[in-house]
Amino acid sequence: MAGQSVVSVNPARPGEVISRHPVAFATEVGEAVARAAEAQRDWSAVPVPVRAEMIARCGEALAGRKAELATLVSREAGKILQEAGGDVQEAIDMAGFIAGLGRSAWGTTHPCEMPDKIGFTTRHPVGVVGMITPWNFPVAIPSWKIFPALLAGNGVVIKPSEHAPACCESFVDACREVGIPVNLVNVVHGFGETGAALCTHSGVRAVSFTGSVPTGRRVAAMAMESGPRLVSLELGGKNAMVVMPDADLDLVVEGAIFGAFGTSGQRCTSTSRLVVHSDVAQELVGTIARSAARLRLGDPLDPSTEVGPVIDRGSAERIHGMVEAATSEGATIATGGGIVAVPGCEGGAFYSPTVLTGVHPDHRIAREEVFGPVLSVIEVGSFDEAIAAVNYCEYGLSAAIYTRDINLAMRAVHRIDTGIVYVNAPTIGAEIHLPFGGNKHTGNGYREAGSRGLEQFSEVKSVYVDFSGRLQKAQIDNRDAVEASG
């Protein structure tokens, strides 16, 4: 109701309030859409290279605020400082990449089947784009959506996660201070009702959502019920790292620790499953478990901290419930497996880095997204069994294989059903110039980042120009006449 607020707190010390923002209901969302629509009419008339130059300036503004923003990301999202700085740097890099697209091809040309006629494609903005973003990359993900949407000529209304509203506000402020029109990018805060109002508003012509599969399905259903709209979904992952007997095991240990426990396992690409050949499983898993047990949990602002908190106490309890359910199905806890109290971080939502052995592909812990620092070990006896285990879930975002055999690696790339595959690297580490997204229930076919990142924010128009000076009848059997005229 009126007067409600979104209250952002530090997940390491939830008694520390970072910011408060009024909740936007349907009326406020409608006002934001109207402002964006009015500003978009002028913005769409700005030449694309000029839009690109303004986006480049946004990147410069973010670079100037990098230390300040990284500290805010660390406080609000619980990322350790090095990861928080990487979050901001990704937004800076995205600004530079998208700015470069401002002078690249905006379409393609095609030969036509009749003489003195040419065909080409071009792109046009959709109008106003509604965006719903998560808290785990509170600066980077808004940049992945806002910058290509602006380059395409759109207005924006964005609802950030209620866990990271201040990061989004600071990101948008940095863009405004270098000339992005104030009403072109609007931030609204709230919960499910705010998101629903944004998805169903008649003035919103495209919706871009990053989050969980259940919420994404609701977003898509709401948006299309009152559509038509472009709806792009970037949903969950259950990412697997395959380890073959010939792999460099020291490299595997490093990759597994970073992939599974970096960002406290709260990346959509985090390494959640270790699919390891039985020939090396005992030695490898023991080393990983010992390494995980040595990781230092603590205040993410402390440079010595290696693993920060999960986003809130409810998440820690949900993760613990999944670990307990896994043991009831037969899994064994090799290390971790509990909520941890960290000195100096009273009430903080910390979960110990956890390694589970004895997991089977059909176990719940191997099929459902944990979104926490939990690595499930699945032993296999062959390459074919490993590939089957990787593909045995509804997600298809990221996967990795460790092997010295290039032929085996390329067969894995061909057979693994994910949108991203790494060879001799963990399942995290996507770069902004390649398309990002997944298969199966992970998404609905769109890709973010790379040159394809424009697709969800623009519509293709096909143009035919006939300069023959006469009527040339198309889509009838006129081949003889065309050949005769030639």
Pairing of strands 5-10, 13-22: antiparallel
Closest among 100, 151, 73, 93 to 431, alpha carbons compared? 93
Those residues with Cβ within 8 angstroms of residue 129's Cβ, 6 or more apart along the chain or in another chain: 145, 149, 154, 155, 156, 157, 204, 205, 206, 207, 208, 457
Residue with tokens 């009126």: 2
Percent composition of the chain: helix, strand, coil (DSSP 3-state, to 5): 40, 20, 35
DSSP 3-state assignment of 302?
coil
DSSP string, 52-75: HHHHHHHHHHHHHTHHHHHHHHHH
CA atoms within 13 A on the CB side of 241: 31
Pairing of strands 395-396, 374-380: unpaired
Phi, psi of 420 (to 5 degrees): -135, 135
Rounded CA-CA distance 362/349 in Å is 29
Q: Does residue 268 carry a catalytic annotation?
A: yes
Residue with tokens 């008649």: 202
Rounded CA-CA distance 294/96 in Å is 38
Cβ–Cβ contacts within 10 Å for residue 225, how many?
10
DSSP string, 400-464: EEE-S-HHHHHHHHHH--SSEEEESS-S----TTS-B--EETTBSS--BSTGGGGGGGEEEEEEE
Strand order in the sheet with 155-159: 185-187, 155-159, 128-132, 206-210, 230-234
> Active site residue: 167, 199, 268, 345, which one?
268
Residue type present at position 455: E
- What are 169's two structure tokens? 């506000």
Closest among 341, 413, 369, 75 to 211, alpha carbons compared? 369
**Active centre residues (catalytic):** 268
